[in-house]
Amino acid sequence: MSDCEHELLNGLTDAQVDAVTTTEGPLLVLAGPGSGKTTVVTRRIAWLLAQGIPSWQLLALTFTNKAAGEMRDRVDALLPGVSGERRGLTIMTFHGFCARLLRQYPDEARVPSNYSIYDTTDRRAALKQAVRNAGLDSGNWTPASVGEAISQCKNRLTTAEQHDAGGGDFYTRSIGRIYREYQTILDRNGALDFDDLLLKVAVMLRDDDEMRQTLQDRFRYLMIDEYQDTNQAQFVIASALVGPQRNICVVGDPDQSIYGWRGADISNILDFEHQFSAAKVVSLGRNFRSTGHIVEASAGLIRRNSSHRERTLHTELGDGDRVVVAGAADEHDEARQLVDLFRDQFMAGTPWREMAVLYRINALSRVLEQAFRDGQIPYVVARGTAFYERAEIKDALSYLRLVVNPRDEVALRRIINTPPRGIGKTSLDRVEKHAILNRMGLGEAIRNAEQVPALTARARSALGRFDEMVEAWRSDADGGSLLLDLPDFVSRVIRESGLEKSLRTGASEEDIARLENLDELVTAAAEWTPPRGDPEDDEPTILQQVAAWLESIALVSDADMVDPENGSVTLMSLHAAKGLEFDVVAMAGFEQGLLPHARSLEDDVEREEERRLCYVGMTRARRTLHLSHAHRRTVRGITERTMPSQFLGEIPADALDRQDDDDPWGTGIKPVSTADWQVGATVRHPTFGLGMIRRVVPRPRGTTATIEFLEYGHRTLLVAQSNLELVDPDERPWEGIDIPI
């Protein structure tokens, strides 16, 4: 073994060494929270390079830009001095990789070479228009609901035409109509949404034998991080990229599969050994992150899931403090308690940046933010697109999108008269009508404004100047002029578009803040690092750089926006916290209906995902974990009593420090955990006799159980007051009885 190879294995556990050095054939690495997953992935990449594998034959895919960047940096640190030889090493997000392929092979994928990527806002606008075009009531068909349905279709590789062919009920047919209209809008605008990036590549690789062979020859070693989060489209892509060598390594944890609502399919990781026969499985059981009580508490909870794959988890960091469970009178009291907790932790030496509050729904952040402001505790709310959703930033980016893609009508409509340039609504309506009648795009109609009837001379002149301005930018960006760099071009567009001047003429603090935001956008362009390309690639033009930069902005996630050096407490959703860790973690709103979410209470599959989500949140903590619930909470202006989360009853009691009140409302009723009362369990009642539990519902005044009794039929009882007795199945209570239920 060479010195380099020895150093790459130094400090690893036996299981980690096994995962790093197993380079041939299919490999599943089961990596629990804090088990050194990133270490294994990066050292495995470095190990392959050290074995002489050409860098361009390696492909590593993950889900966030932050994770991809960390992997690249760690590989660079592991193999200093050979960076030049690794040009062409591809470590990217799934969406980023697919976006690159579509730019490289637009004809094969049947997409425009200069396509736009529609972000959440653009997609919402297109969905609204699609609902109108389908002749449906926008009040009944919201962008969120229809967007989710269309996403599910695309994740399953179902096109609009295939969906229509399926027929179905009124809802299905309506979704099909909206899907068809939505896709028509995207095609007309030369645009793709996030789902299209995966769909187009998956279909191309599935159907095009030559492209599939080309990419299999290029990428002979495939690694996929967070494999439990892959959907069907991503599975198709991964399977197609695996050549006859079958050198695929996936790393993940079924217990951390929390994105089923957006199409993630947990069966991809659960069935990996079936899908790739003779696959080797390596389980990483040592937790390097959390103390013993946190590991015990989280492991005890997740064992309740039927999908859980049992493995031994341990830590060498000591037991640490028990997990605190705290009750509060209401959400304001809960927030004040958290302020006190974080202030105490800070006084004890914990930096603000090492503390976080996690919650199931974003609506909980409002009261928390107010309490943190009042308590003068620095905080940031992790919302990935917040900066890029600001009006002035959206305006500037729309100009840039139009430079890249002249067919992007969403961008065009946004900035055609922003700032005002004499192109009013009436003029634009006339141009749009002309475009529809002549079956042309809005951009083409503007370029031929002299042919649009009833336009004033002023409007024609304004449209002409606008078109000339954008075309000049496009020509220069595509190599027609010697431009210095990307930030210079962005600055030029901001200046020549009139955005900068329109804000400088204002004297308000708001205008000054918007100018500063535009300056920050130029700074973001300067700090952006283009993705590594192949060694033989030409230097990209400014136009290509703009396109790639816009892609990176469109694909930013909440987790990408968490700055570990921000010097502030981080407030974020449980979903956004995936992949992060902090010394101190507080989970707020630990209540039935919030965590688990209300919509999961009667669905076993959804409740298991909620339990995984809770598990992910708990395992973000290194040494201090604080779970809080409020006895009353105001939702939509109505104050209601709440119940502590059923998950509290599923966590091993030895790992908890219960500081909450068993009888918060003075009812004399002690809340009963639903963990003890499961559907299908046999119970005995002093009056009604034997029965079987059919339904369990946690309610503010206590858990109710709907029971079908042998002699008395259905009864719904308050468990805590019913004198019910759980019957041990070993008693064989139904033996010899003809059960009618």
What crossing angle do the helices spanning 542-554 and 94-104 adopt, rounded to 10°? 150
Q: Is 64 part of the annotated catalytic residue set?
A: no
Residue 228: both structure tokens together: 């439990």
Please identify which of the residues 108, 122, 193, 226 carries the catalytic annotation.
Answer: 226
Please identify which of the residues 39, 42, 234, 256 carries the catalytic annotation.
Answer: 256
Which strands form 569-573's sheet, in the order they lie side by side? 379-381, 569-573, 355-359, 582-587, 621-630, 323-328, 656-658
Residue 435, Cα to own-chain centre: how many angstroms?
38
Please identify which of the residues 122, 181, 195, 225 carries the catalytic annotation.
Answer: 225
Instruction: Considering only CA atoms, give the Rg of the chain.
Output: 29
Q: Is 640 part of the annotated catalytic residue set?
A: no
Q: How many CA atoms lie within 13 A of 50 on its CB side?
A: 23
* Cα–Cα distance for residue pair 489/480, rounded to 1 Å: 13
Q: Which residue has the tokens 């990419």?
A: 215
Residue 226: both structure tokens together: 């967070």
* Cα–Cα distance for residue pair 663/254, rounded to 1 Å: 36
Please identify which of the residues 72, 394, 620, 633 carries the catalytic annotation.
Answer: 620
Q: Is 226 part of the annotated catalytic residue set?
A: yes
Q: Which residues on neighbouring strands pair with residue 663, listed in sequence order?
A: none
Q: Which of 239, 94, 88 is nearest to 555 (CA)?
A: 94
Q: Is 37 part of the annotated catalytic residue set?
A: yes
Q: Does the bond joining 700 to the residue before it have cis omega, within 30 degrees of 0?
A: no
What residues have CB less than 8 Å from 247, skipping those under 6 apart? 23, 24, 25, 26, 220, 221, 222
Q: Which residue has the tokens 């930033």?
A: 393
Residue 100, Cα to own-chain centre: how many angstroms?
20
3-state secondary structure 231-300: CHHHHHHHHHHCCCCCCEEEEECHHHCCCHHHCCCCHHHHCHHHHCCCCEEEEECEECCCCHHHHHHHHH
Instruction: Taking the CA atoms of 41, 43, 46 and 47 in sequence, report the sign of the dihedral they define.
Output: negative
Q: Which of 294, 324, 300, 328 is nearest to 657 (CA)?
A: 324
* Cα–Cα distance for residue pair 358/635, rounded to 1 Å: 18
Give the strand pairing for 90-93 and 58-62: parallel
Which string of b and e fits 648-663 if b means at least 16 CB within 10 Å?
bbbbeeebbeeebeee
Residue 135: count of CB within 10 angstroms of its CB:
10
Q: Residue 532: phi, psi to the nearest 5?
A: -65, 135
What residues have CB less than 8 Å from 599, skipping those under 6 apart? 606
Please identify which of the residues 37, 72, 86, 430 carries the catalytic annotation.
Answer: 37
Q: Is 433 part of the annotated catalytic residue set?
A: no
Q: Is 407 part of the annotated catalytic residue set?
A: no
Please identify which of the residues 21, 22, 23, 38 carries the catalytic annotation.
Answer: 38
* Cα–Cα distance for residue pair 124/306, rounded to 1 Å: 37
Residues belonging to the active site:
37-38, 225-226, 256, 620
